[in-house]
Amino acid sequence: MTTDPYLIAINTQIEAFPALPATVTKVMAVTADPESSANDLMQAILPDQAMCSAVLKVANSAFFGVPREVSTMERAVVVLGFEEIRNIVIGKAIYACFPKMNRESRATVGLFWEHAFTCGLAAKIIGGQLHFSPSELFIAGLIHDIGKLAMFIALPNEYPILSELSGPSHYSNTTEEERSFTVGHDQVGLQLAEKWLLPQQLAMAIGYHHKPQEAPASRQYPLIVQVADILALMYSNGHLRAEDVMKIFTDFFPETARLWQDNRLPWNIENLGSWFETLKQYRQSSQNILNIFTAS
């Protein structure tokens, strides 16, 4: 049994998180069952009016670009499909599991979610081009750093939740975390993903986005989220251009190309610049989506 006070505080916080709401577990079960019908999915969601409202708001946003208004859950299921509905429900529910912050921490946590959302958008852009699920990668990016938030809640005066935002040289900071707190945010996040029984792709992205080569399965998701995370950090810089992004990857993350190629992902350094420019355009018009996910 550990006597490390930091690890005790972190483990206590992990245990304190509630289970995901029944709506979420029902939705995950329905969408995982190939025999499920659209009616089964509607029946899983309809009792939760707040979740229904969130799904409809996302469905009617520019995020999906649906030509006609989606006014009922029946229509939402038809238009969005099982996977999109599941991912919206997971993202909304996970945000709600974290306690409200006091006034001193609110701005810090707000910046955390801004970065997480930008990472989600970047992952969505990459996933769309590489023919992976854009919606699942969006959620993977949105929740990839939940371990950081858990550590910050457990150790609000000690844990530097925004340290990565200071620049690319601070990106892979899990070694420093392990030295200071005995555990890194990636492994804390993986514990939460396992506690909440999240789909494997999401769990791997959360637990291995800093060390994708160590993922026991589904390495492509942590590899994509890792690149999306770095692009999101560069976006927060505010004045970088596509050519700057390509140079930063070459200088600071030279191993990325090999890791992608080893895991059957097409690597083209010029794609990074294209994804970054798309992210800058997309991020400006998507703030309302973050507001939907983070609304009480």
What confidence tens digit (pLDDT) does each residue in 248-272 have? Answer: 898 888 899 999 999 999 999 999 9
Residue found by looking up tokens 């609110």 in the block: 106
Q: What is residue 219's predicted lDDT score, i.e. its pLDDT? A: 95
Query: Which CATH class, in words, describes the domain spanning 99-294?
Result: mainly alpha
Closest C-alpha among 282, 241, 249 to residue 267: 249
Instruction: Name the percent of the chain lying above pLDDT 70.
Output: 96
Q: What is residue 101's predicted lDDT score, i.e. its pLDDT? A: 77
Tell me the pLDDT tens digit for each residue of 25-66: 999 999 999 999 999 999 999 999 999 999 999 888 877 777
Residue 79, amino acid: V
* Cβ proximity of 176 and 199 under 8 Å: no
Report d(CA 135, CA 72) in Å as an integer: 20
Long-range CB contact pairs, 68-72, < 8 A, 24+: none
Report d(CA 121, CA 102) in Å as an integer: 28
Is pLDDT above 70 for 166?
Answer: no
Domain ranges of the chain: 18-97, 99-294
- What's the mean per-residue pLDDT of the chain? 91
- Alpha helical stretches, state H, the chain: 5-16, 22-32, 38-45, 49-59, 73-97, 103-130, 134-142, 146-154, 174-181, 185-195, 200-208, 220-237, 242-252, 256-262, 269-284, 287-294
* The model's pTM: 0.93
